[in-house]
């Protein structure tokens, strides 16, 4: 119930025609779609579509990179595979705040192609492609599964 409480409050507030937020009640007299219509008129659906594109694109790219890297590290034997795994683990030791500035500088001018991904959907999708935790989990899964 602790986790459902905020969601329930959000849903009730969205369908209650009260203009004053201090008059909120868990048991409204009537329900209305006025707030939903107002949100649609203000372009919320475009923001929702952007969210789906970023999440879907990031998920697809992350699965592709994690499965490929995990397979290479778990099944293929090559010189330096342990070093690569240690480097992947080392990326997990850095807090996200430490990586924010170098990542924004990198996205502002991508090496070799010299394009900027700042302010674009690709600029939000590309950084989540090679997440160390998902590569580690996929490597361990493929190591423990039979050939």
What are the pLDDT digits (tens) for 65-97? 999 999 999 999 899 988 999 999 998 898 888
What is the pLDDT at residue 108?
Answer: 92
- Shared domain check, 85 and 136: yes
Count of domains for the chain: 2
- Shared domain check, 91 and 28: no
- Give the span between the Cα atoms of 103 and 124, in whole angstroms: 11
- Shared domain check, 140 and 69: yes
- Shared domain check, 71 and 19: no
Within-domain flag for 89: yes
Q: Phi and psi (nearest 5°) for 140?
A: -65, -40
What is the pLDDT at residue 50?
Answer: 95
Within-domain flag for 87: yes
Nearest to 64 by CA among 146, 12, 125: 125
- Shared domain check, 66 and 124: yes
Determine contact, residues 89/136, Cβ cutoff 8 Å.
Answer: yes
Lowest mean pLDDT among 1-10, 54-63, 84-93, 130-139: 1-10
What is the pLDDT at residue 139?
Answer: 93
Within-domain flag for 121: yes
- Shared domain check, 119 and 71: yes
66 vs 32 pLDDT, higher one: 66
Beta strands in the chain (DSSP E): none
- Give the span between the Cα atoms of 54 and 114, in whole angstroms: 22
- Shared domain check, 76 and 36: no
- Shared domain check, 130 and 85: yes
Nearest to 5 by CA among 21, 24, 26: 26
What's the pLDDT band for 125 if we cut at 50, 70, 90?
Answer: very high
What is the pLDDT at residue 86?
Answer: 92
- Shared domain check, 131 and 81: yes
Q: Which helix (H) or strand (E) holds 37?
A: helix 34-41
- Shared domain check, 98 and 30: no
Q: By residue range, what is the domain housing residue 128?
A: 61-144
């Amino acid at each position: 119930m602790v986790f459902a409480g905020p969601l329930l409050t959000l849903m009730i507030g969205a369908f209650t025609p009260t203009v004053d937020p201090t008059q909120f009640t868990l048991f409204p007299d009537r329900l209305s779609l006025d707030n939903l219509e107002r949100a649609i008129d203000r372009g919320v659906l475009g923001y929702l579509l952007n969210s789906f594109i970023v999440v879907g694109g990031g998920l697809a790219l992350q699965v592709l990179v994690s499965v490929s890297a995990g397979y290479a590290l778990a099944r293929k034997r090559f010189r330096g595979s342990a070093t690569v795994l240690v480097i992947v683990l080392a990326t997990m030791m850095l807090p996200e705040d430490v990586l924010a500035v170098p990542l924004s500088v990198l996205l502002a001018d991508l090496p070799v192609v010299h394009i900027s991904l700042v302010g674009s959907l690709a600029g939000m999708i590309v950084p989540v492609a090679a997440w160390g935790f998902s590569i580690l989990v996929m490597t361990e899964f493929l190591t423990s599964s039979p050939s």
